[in-house]
Every structure is written in C-alpha cells, then in structure tokens.
Homo-oligomer: A and B are copies of this chain.
Amino acid sequence: MQTVSFKSILSQYKVIFFDAYGVLKNYKGLIPGIEQTLAWLDAQKKAYYIITNDASRSPQLLSQSYHNAGLKMITPERIVSSGMLAKEFLELKVKDGIVAYLGTKESAYYIERPGVEAVSLCKLSTADMDKVNALVLLDDEGFDWFDGLNKAVNLLRRKTIPAIVANPDGAYPVSKQDVGIAIGGISWMIEKITGRKFIRFGKPDSQIFMLAWDIVQGHFPGLSKRDVLMVGDTLHTDILGGNKFGLDTALVLTGNILTEDAETRIISSGIAPTHICESAVVDFH
C-alpha cells in the first residue's frame, strides 16, 4: 500500500477538517510535529477545524485541554463536537422539564439552558421520572454503570421520549493495546434490549459535517465541497462520513489503524479514502 506525504496533498484544499484522537493526539500525548503543522497551516492561510465525536465537555473546555497540551491555536470556534448537535436538537425539540443524562458533570453543558433541568440519571428520583422529556447519553464516565445502564433501560421502557447518543463510537483507544467502551457501544445494548431507536449524532452521520460546513461557508462564501479535506484515523467514522458528505478524505496511520493493516481494512470494509498518509504532520526537512 502506497502512502503519500501529507504536505503533498494540501495544495488541493482550502479547508481541513481534522479528527482529534488518533490524528492530533493519541494515548501518548500530542503527535510529534503536530504543533508546527498547525502553525504552518495558519501561516499558509489554510483554515482548519476539529470535527470530534466528543460530548464529554464543552468546546471551551475541549479547547482549554488543547491549550494545556500546547496547541494554543485550537480555539473554541475551531471545534465542532457531536455534543453541539445534541444541544441543537434539545433546543428545538425539548421545551421544558428534565433531560436525564449519562455522563460527566461537564458533559451536562450540552443540556443546560433556562427552563430545562439536566439531571444525572443515577440521581433522578422516582418522583421526578414523570418530568423527564429526553434521555441523552453523553459520556461513559461520571456514573456507576450498573445503576446507570439499568436505569436507562427502564426509563425508555416506561416513557416514550427521545433517546439521544452524542458519541456514536463503540470504543476508543486508552493505551497502545487497550480500548475503553464508549457510550455509543453502550447505546447499542440499550437499543437491542428495549427495541427503541436512538438518535445518533456524530461521525459518520452527515449532520456533524453539515454543521461544520455551515460554519465554513460563513467564512468562505462560495466554497465548494471539493475544497475541503477530511483527515481521520478511523474508516467507519471519519472516512465513511467524509466520503458520504462528498468530501475528499485522508486516512492517517497514527491512530486506530496500523500501517500493516490499512490495506486489508480498506478492502474488507469497502471504505476507501482519497489519500493515505503516515500522519497529519507536515515534514519540513
């Protein structure tokens, strides 16, 4: 399988969409050289955005974590998270009452607004169950799994309310070898047990690309989808979703897929990126 240098393909595009985990950083920290790459893109006047299936924290807090890691250029405005779609959905479709959630306290950012109360499902009293108007799965941390997952199943059995997952991933890497079960994986189980259909926000679903596209078009009127490159490490989310939205895509090998497996994975899934690059790092040597 032949890879091309990331730099060599950039001249074709005006805007870059980056996946976060496995592209900018991984379990070891920042991908070496990524800071210089982003700085160079800024110098070249290439616009870039982070398109992430992360609903654990607000764009502000996500941005802060990049700042802490050394990437000062990742401002909240550059972050498009799946949580933002859950937020828009709730604003349009849930007018009042309680929105119950599974996730960290920070993830409740995507729910809270005047007139609507965000309540962690594990803390929901039986008396308050009547007031629940939606269930949102935001993150796999911040609650006891036995209690939370059983309560989610029974809430959906009792009430016909929208059920939302703001991160459709089944798992995410936590070390070189191991993964953690993501809230999207948990939603599959709840769906199969209850027969209820979750609404999923995040790659590969088009709605997150649409949101990013709307933001970009505000800055670059007349932009064509041909001018945008989606860069990611995962075939079933970044590449499938980018392709479907009509974007060119670049698979990088710094995350989920090892160099030696890339070809097999592409052939067996039928999901082919436009380009394959070792990493999203521009080599200045």
**Chain A residues in the interface with B (C-beta under 8 A):** 88-89, 92-93, 144-146, 149-150, 153-154, 156-158, 160-163, 170-171, 177-181, 185-186, 188-189, 192-197, 199, 205-207, 210, 225-226, 236, 240, 243-247, 264, 266-272
**What residues on B are CB-neighbors of A268 within 8 Å?**
195
- Cβ contact within 8 Å between B153 and A145: no
Given contacts A92-B246, A157-B178, A197-B236, 15 further A-B contacts (CB under 8 A): A89-B244, A93-B246, A145-B149, A150-B180, A153-B181, A154-B177, A161-B270, A161-B272, A162-B272, A170-B192, A171-B193, A189-B189, A195-B269, A197-B271, A207-B210
- Cβ contact within 8 Å between A270 and B194: yes
> Nearest 4 A-B pairs (CB), nearest first?
A196-B270, A145-B145, A92-B246, A189-B189
Partner of A225, one of B92, B179, B188: B92
**What residues on B are CB-neighbors of A240 within 8 Å?**
197, 199
**What residues on B are CB-neighbors of A267 within 8 Å?**
160
**What residues on B are CB-neighbors of A195 within 8 Å?**
268-270
What is the CA–CA distance of A172 and B210 in the complex, to the nearest angstrom? 29
**What residues on B are CB-neighbors of A161 within 8 Å?**
270, 272
- A266-B160 contact, Cβ under 8 Å, with A88-B246, A154-B178, A206-B207: yes
**What residues on B are CB-neighbors of A179 within 8 Å?**
153-154, 157, 193
Partner of A243, one of B162, B189, B246: B162
Shortest Cβ gap from A100 to chain B (Å): 14
- Cβ contact within 8 Å between B181 and A189: yes
With both beta carbons as reference points, the residue of chain B lying nearest to A187 in the complex is identified as B189
- Cβ contact within 8 Å between A270 and B236: no
**What residues on B are CB-neighbors of A194 within 8 Å?**
270
**What residues on B are CB-neighbors of A146 within 8 Å?**
144-145
- Cβ contact within 8 Å between A192 and B196: no
* Residue of A186, A193, A199, A205 most packed against chain B (CB within 10 A): A193
With both beta carbons as reference points, the residue of chain B lying nearest to A175 in the complex is identified as B154
With both beta carbons as reference points, the residue of chain B lying nearest to A267 in the complex is identified as B160
What is the CA–CA distance of A144 and B158 in the complex, to the nearest angstrom? 26
Partner of A272, one of B160, B186, B189, B270: B160
What is the CA–CA distance of A118 and B269 in the complex, to the nearest angstrom? 24
**What residues on B are CB-neighbors of A162 within 8 Å?**
243, 270, 272
